[in-house]
């Protein structure tokens, strides 16, 4: 299957700093990528849909100025958590659609963010 690479796998940062997470589709072009947040033993919570060359679409309740998403190319989307606080600590996962319309989602390995 297609490969989606997500980095870093884990990051520890101080409160108030910003953290950037990268998501790359290695062997296919992804016009659409999704960013999720997952709390322990819970389902995936969609944060935003990232479209190449345009602004991301954020889900209700997700602060777009807090979680900056950039999808500058067909193979790279980034999520920047700005001015991180302990409540932002979570497991963040990206996915890319090979089918182009939300089908055949391939997920990155996730990023565990811990904000001290």
Partner 1 sequence: QQQVKQSPQSLIVQKGGIPIINCAYENTAFDYFPWYQQFPGKGPALLIAIRPDVSEKKEGRFTISFNKSAKQFSLHIMDSQPGDSATYFCAASGSGGSYIPTFGRGTSLIVHP
> Could you list the residues that contact partner 1 (CB under 8 A)?
1, 4, 6, 34, 41-44, 46, 49, 91, 93, 95, 101-110, 112
Q: Which is nearer to partner 1, 6 or 75 (CB)?
A: 6
3-state class of 6 per DSSP? strand
Give Rg (Cα) of the chain.
13
CA distance 63 to 73: 23
Q: How far is the CB of 109 from partner 1 (least distance, A)?
A: 5
Q: Which is nearer to partner 1, 81 or 93 (CB)?
A: 93
Q: How far is the CB of 83 from partner 1 (least distance, A)?
A: 26
3-state class of 2 per DSSP? coil
CA distance 29 to 66: 27
3-state class of 87 per DSSP? helix
Q: How far is the CB of 15 from partner 1 (least distance, A)?
A: 24
Q: Which is nearer to partner 1, 36 or 67 (CB)?
A: 36
């Amino acid at each position: 299957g297609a490969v989606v690479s997500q980095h870093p796998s884990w990051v520890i940062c101080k409160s108030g700093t910003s953290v950037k997470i990268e998501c790359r589709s290695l062997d296919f072009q992804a016009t659409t990528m999704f960013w999720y947040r997952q709390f322990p033993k819970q389902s995936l919570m969609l944060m935003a849909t990232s479209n190449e060359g345009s602004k991301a679409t954020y889900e209700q309740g997700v602060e777009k100025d807090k979680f900056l998403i950039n999808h500058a190319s067909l193979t790279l989307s980034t999520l920047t958590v700005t001015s991180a606080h302990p409540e932002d600590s979570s497991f963040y996962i990206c996915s890319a659609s090979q089918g182009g319309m939300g089908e055949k989602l391939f997920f990155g390995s996730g990023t565990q963010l811990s904000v001290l």
